[in-house]
Amino acid sequence: MKVNFNKNPDGLIPAIIQDAITKNVLMLGYMNEAALIKTQETKKVTFFSRSKQRLWTKGEESGNFLNLVNIKNDCDNDTLLVSVNPEGPTCHTGSDTCWNKENVSNFGFLSYLEDVIEQRRTSSDGSKSYVASLFEKGINKIAQKVGEEAVETVIEAKDDNDELFLYESADLLFHYLILLQAKGFTLKDIEAELKKRHK
């Protein structure tokens, strides 16, 4: 890996620390060449501490180590993106991140869609909202809709129309998110179950 440590007079470059699973940014530190080498050798993220003026392995006192997954260099070779599996909170304040944010998975638009479904479930009129109407009809109707959409998805999977397959797949996923909420679960619960099974 070619890294330009000479860009700054102190020989330090920024190292952005990102959770390898959630993709959340946990903290920003600085590395010199010795810190990078030690990180690669020990698989524990090590910085150059500007306040202590020495190498500092995150977690050396707290036990909250940042276990190295991989390191990527940016286009100018002067900033590192360090993917890690954190042990415990990252920030010295006890927060998961140095921005006082919880380090949880975000499923992008699907997380947004979960929020919309929750809003419709709790504050919409069934006569004006399809989602609210399903919740009003109860778990049997919601489960039936998931079954119907699953069958339609399987049928389209056996045909050659990719557009219809994607359409039915979206219907299935949408209704599955509704069923999850009707049972009191979210995608994070499914993620946790899959993590338990992962070898």
Beta strands per DSSP E along 36-78: 46-49, 54-57, 66-73
Confidence of residue 87 (pLDDT cuts 50, 70, 90): very high
Residue 156 is encoded by which pair of tokens? 């389209």
Cα dihedral: 72, 78, 79, 81 (round 10): 10
pLDDT of residue 65: 97
Average pLDDT, the chain: 94
Task: Check residue 143 and report its DSSP letter.
Answer: H
Could you read off the pLDDT of 24-56 as tens digits, one per residue? Answer: 999 999 999 999 999 999 999 999 999 999 999
Could you read off the pLDDT of 51-82 as tens digits, one per residue? Answer: 999 999 999 999 999 999 999 999 999 999 99
Q: For residues 180 and 143, is the Cβ–Cβ distance under 8 A?
A: no
Nearest to 68 by CA among 50, 56, 86: 86
Could you read off the pLDDT of 119-173 as tens digits, one per residue? Answer: 999 987 878 899 999 999 999 999 999 999 999 999 999 999 999 999 999 999 9
pLDDT of residue 123: 86
Domains of the chain: 13-86 (3.10.20.810), 109-197 (1.10.287.1080)
